[in-house]
Each structure stands twice: as structure tokens, then as C-alpha cells.
Structure 1
């Protein structure tokens, strides 16, 4: 029933719509601080549904076939953002077991011991020995249980997210110091792990160097971030990197029309946003939509994907 409904919403050919899944991490076991987040058992179950209901293609092939009006019914692609080490150690073996392809968008500035700012905040809160975290600038938070720690991390992320990058990194240092925490250096992939992922047959995509909010930085710096990240990856894997993912990816807020033009000018074949929905023939291939279904149950997951496909087509995102 679900498969038939998805076929109606996304038939083959010129009326096809491309569903692109986006994830970031796959934990080996459930995370007590974020119990709703993806873990290995749940990811394997989710891939089983996706394989049964969708025709999963490599993203670069899906883009070409979308442009040509030649997608199969229920076309889909799988993507991961940022470059977490568990993409190789946890997600990749599960994808291989399911026989499914994925594209991994990597922010190169965090390779080899780096750490994304939001993870710095999460790990500062997770690892703190304190029952109360008192930060003069960002507030006072209860860390008495996992629910309190989750709420504290999310509130800190929300407050700090749109700071200028240098100030944002300093805020992470300040929070970690207040939390009496030493931050980890093994959350992201090493350069060697990126190469290993590529050699397994998965695609590597560009995701800037330092994951800035492009709308908040100058256009020359955006050019350096976008092109520089791609150049590092191409040297690493010894192959062209044709696909790009906008950091955060909300059109009109995180990136603007000039960034779409810049990605095209720099020679990428396509780019992905985080705008919900599915892309149709004639849509801007430099603003492909992506979606993360969060339902853990089979029926709700299928309904959610149908709802995503059924969203009305819109004009250009930005």
C-alpha cells in the first residue's frame, strides 16, 4: 500500500520527484542524552523500508536523470552532512549490507581532530561533572539528569548558532570551561577515513571548510570556503568532487541567491539545501530539497515520506 501510494506521488519520467534523505550521524547505540536520535539498529531498520519502497540512486546520477526527465518511480538518494567519524565506522557498513549508495558532504576544516562548534557545546554539557552549569553570558542550566542536559545543550546551541564564527568558537571554549569539561578530538573523520569511505564506493561532496553561515560572511570569503573545501577533498581522494551542500542549508536565511550563483560559477554540477520537499523536473538543481523523516515506526515513516512528496511544487527557493 505504501509503495503504491508513493508511486502515484512520484511516477517515473517527467513527472517524477526526487526524494533526498539527509542525516548527520548514526550512533552505535541509543544516546541517553538524545534518545530520539538515529542509532545503528534504527538506521538498519529505516534502510530496509527505504530499499523496499524507493529506487535509491547515487545522487549525481539522480541529478542527471532528474534533468533529463528520466528518473524511475519513487526515486531517492541518501546523503550525510559534516563528516562525522561514525559515517565510516557505523553508517557505511549498514549501507553496504543493504546494498545502498550514499553521498557524504564533508567540512574539511574539522578533519584530523577538529570539532564542530555545536558538538563542542553538546559534549561540554554531556561530560560535565556538575549538577548545575552556570554561564554568565548564556544562563544557568540544570544538569541533574539527561533531560536537563539535553535541554541545556539545545538552548545553548540556539543562542550561539548565529554568532560570528570567531565569537562562536570562543563561546564554546567558555562553556566548556564553565562545565569543567575536556572536549573530545575524535568525533570527525580523519583524512585517511575520508579516503577509505571513497574507496568503499561512496561519493564525497563538498561542504565548505569551516561550515560558516554563508549569508553572514563576505562573498569573497564564501568563495574561499566553498572552493577551498572542494579543493582539499579532490586532493585527498584523487577525483573530482561535483556536488555541494550549503551549511545549515535554509534558503534565504543560511544562503542567498548570490551563493547559488557562486556554486554554479565554481563548476559544481548540483547543490543541496535543507528545504523540505522533493525536487521535480525543472527545479533548480543548485537548490535540491532534502528531508529527514524522524518517525521510528514503519507506517508513520511511510506516511511522512508521502506527505513530503505531496508538498506542492514551489517556485525557486531563493
Structure 2
């Protein structure tokens, strides 16, 4: 009987934790990937987390996975990419509620007067007032050929569609949306030098200069250093140029991880132990290279809770969307209940 009760406790009451994934704390013109949370909603979410009282540093949560000492229902907060609003908007709010967070940084964008490429492409294709009638371009040996016809001219109806459209959740809301997705998919698979060359070709086709909207850029190196010096915050790796690692050869993956880790450690004078895979894209080579580079753990974008037996180089995270505090609280309960339901079905 005692053995049976021990089995039941181990199976159904095993410690579990959640890692939350944020990107940008802002209200952009559009948000096709659903990665922006408004400052007002972010503060409401932090209020809910503060009331719950179970937010821990990501390093502590990771140690719990390693040491079989995971605090049940603990939650860690993470940010990907290094948007400047992480420093200007998220940091003061996290300080206000005394909540720890880890920021995964794509070091190649730090301090650069350029937007993250996916944001620039989104603005370029969906919101340029006048585009040519059609485009024919070969990217990554794939022909992209789209006729925009009447959609070459942006009108209020089209603008409103683009403002609310969510990629891969909904079908493309227009020909421009379809073009954006096709270009994004092909560009995403390229090394950065090729990606930037094609992006310049797309700018030339559109007849617009490179845009630099201040809300779509990375923080400065000095801001990152100030962030790291705060006792609440830790810095993690997110590659140099934000490639989809699984789409690249092992040597390229190794270079992206090592150069990113080396730069961050030299800039911040600390050891970087945690990694987040850009786009959640990884394979066996990615995991092996993360281990060889000296990372202690690596995180995906797979929406699951974390348990003590999980592989340290494929730990899951939940993407937080632009929910109000009440909606966020319900979502936390939903994520938790899905795990319990899955365990009960085993």
C-alpha cells in the first residue's frame, strides 16, 4: 500500500513549473506574430504574478530541473531578442513589482540603427502606401511570384485588415499578407548576409529607403550592461543574427552560439549559461552544440510545463499574448489544467 501511495504521489503530484516568454512590451501598428504586449496589459499581468507569489529566477528554476528540486507551480519570466522596450518599459515595471526576469539577447542587433528584419519586412509589405503591381524574386532557390493588382495601393480597408491579421493563426487577409508570409519563410532560412542582400532587393523593388522605427530596434550595449547589473535580471544567449538553427549546417550553428556567448560574456563580464533557440528552431546538432559551448540549459517555444525529468536542452516555454490581467490569470490556469489532464490520461 505504501509503495502504491508513493507511486501515486510521484505520478500525479510531481513538481511542475512554467516559463513565460515575452518579446516586446509595446503597442505597434501591427503584430502579425502576436508577440507584443501593451504596457498596460503587461503591468496587469505582473500584478497577477505578484499576487500568485511563485515567480522565481530562471536560473533557480533550471537548477531545480537539474537537481530534482523544482518548486511546484513556480514561474519564470523571459524575454527574447532584446527589443529596446525591454529596457525602457519592461524593466521599470519589473522593478516596481520586484519580479525577476531573464533576457535572451541576439547580440548582432545590439546598438544597431536597424530594425529586426521581420519587423521591417512586415512594415514594408503591409503598410507601404504604394507598391509595384507585382513581384518576381528568387530567394533560397525558390521563386516568389505574386501579383498585388489593386492591393498595390494601400487603402483604409486594407490597412485595417493588416493591423489585426495574425500569421499562421488566420489565413492571409490579403495578397500583401500572402506575399509577406512567402518572403518571410524564404528569408528566415538564409544566413544573415544573404538575408540582408535580399531585403535590400525588396526595398529597391518597393522603392523605399531602409526604415528605422525606434520601437523596432534593439537596446544599446550600455542599456544591456545596466540591465545585467540589476540583481533582479539575468542575461541569456539568443545567437548573433537570430537564425532558425535547424535550417542551417552544424558549423553555422556552432558559430552563432559561440560568438553570441563570447560577446555577451566579454561585454557583461559574466558567464552566460542559458540559451533560447530563435523561433524555437533546433535539432540534435543544436542541442549538442549548446552542450559543447558550455550552456547549462536551452529553451524552446513549445508551450508546455516543465518537469524535473525534462531534457535540459529542450525546455519548454509559453508565449504570453496581449491579454488583460483577468485573461492572463485564466490562461495560467488553463496551461496548468492541461498538464494535469495529460497526466491523468496516462
* Bin of the TM-score, shorter chain as denominator length: 0.7 to 0.9
Preserved contact between residue 105 and residue 245 of structure 1 (Cα < 8 Å): yes
Q: TM-score, normalised by structure 1?
A: 0.83
TM-superposed CA distance for 1:131, in Å, is: 7.4
Q: Which runs of 5+ in 2 are unaligned?
A: 1-9, 138-143, 166-175
Residue aligning to 1:31: 28
Using structure 2 for the length normalisation, give the TM-score. 0.77
- Aligned partner of 1:188 in structure 2 is 218
The answer for the alignment partner of 2:180 in structure 1 is 156
Q: In structure 2, what is the Cα distance between the partners aligned to 1:122 and 1:258? A: 31
The DSSP-based 3-state class of the residue aligned with 1:79 is: strand
Q: From the superposition, tell whether residues 87 and 158 of structure 1 become closer, same or farther in structure 2 (CA, over 3 Å).
A: farther
- Once the two structures are TM-superposed, the CA of residue 295 in structure 1 deviates from its matched residue by 6.0
Q: 1:75 maps to what in 2?
A: 74
Structure having the larger proportion of residues in helix: 2
Is residue 264 of structure 2 the alignment partner of residue 233 of structure 1? Answer: yes
| Number of residue-to-residue matches in the alignment | 296
The yes-or-no answer on 1:17 pairing with 2:16 is: yes
User: Where do 4+ consecutive residues of structure 1 move more than 4 Å?
Assistant: 131-134
Q: Distance in 2 between matches of 1:127 and 1:179?
A: 13
Q: After superposition, where does 1:62-211 map in structure 2 within 5 Å?
A: 62-113=61-112, 114-125=114-125, 128-130=128-130, 134-137=134-137, 139=146, 140=148, 141=151, 143-145=154-156, 146-150=159-163, 151=165, 152=176, 155-161=179-185, 162-165=188-191, 166-177=193-204, 178=206, 180-184=208-212, 186=214, 187-201=217-231, 202-211=233-242
Q: Secondary structure at the match of 1:81?
A: strand
Cross-structure match for 2:56? 57
- Deviations along 1:33-92, one digit per CA (max 9) or x if unpaired, are 349731111110111112222511110111112332323332010000111111101111
Task: Report the equivalent of 1:290.
Answer: 317
> How far apart, in 1, do the equivalents of 2:201 and 2:162 lie?
17
Question: Which one scores higher on RCO, CA 8 angstroms, separation ≥ 6?
Answer: 2
Distance in 2 separating the partners of 1:207 and 1:189: 14
Greater shift, 208-217 or 111-120, is seen at 111-120
